[in-house]
Structure 1
Amino acid sequence: MNAVRFIQTIVKIAEENSLLILMENGYLIRPSVNGILRAIQKSPAFKFVENPEMFLKQLEQSKVGFSPKRNSLR
């Protein structure tokens, strides 16, 4: 199963059960493939995979971090 198909399945389950998706950064989003893909691309994990050296430099300089948000429904 590829990643997009997996996300489509998650979205379908969430929609059928009136669920929201809690992202790594603490944001709650409505189930949508594009919304989840955008959120993943903004995640620290994605940034690390894209460019580990740059991510680690930014982490060292405290420009990257995890700070959950409250009241984040989009």
Structure 2
Amino acid sequence: LARQSVQVTGQPVGAAAWHHVPSAYLVCAQDRGTPARLQREFARRAGGVVELDTGHHPFLSQPAALADLLLNLEGTG
């Protein structure tokens, strides 16, 4: 995670990096805010889809599992 300017929330996106950079979508299966079925719909255009049995904040609830998943994704796509 990195800081970013609040200005990004009010400016249109000129280019979506996921069109040019290998990407994957992480479905958080136990997310109570965004159901997994909806996340899978969002993920349709991603280069890959991975699923973790966690809530909305896997970096807090399952940091080791998330780290393993990210390390396994590195360099793929």
TM-score tier after normalising by the smaller chain length: under 0.3
TM-score (norm 1): 0.28
Q: Higher strand share goes to which structure? A: 2
Q: Looking at both structures, which has the greater relative contact order when contacts are Cα pairs under 8 Å and sequence separation is at least 6? A: 1
Q: Higher helix share goes to which structure? A: 1
TM-score (norm 2): 0.27
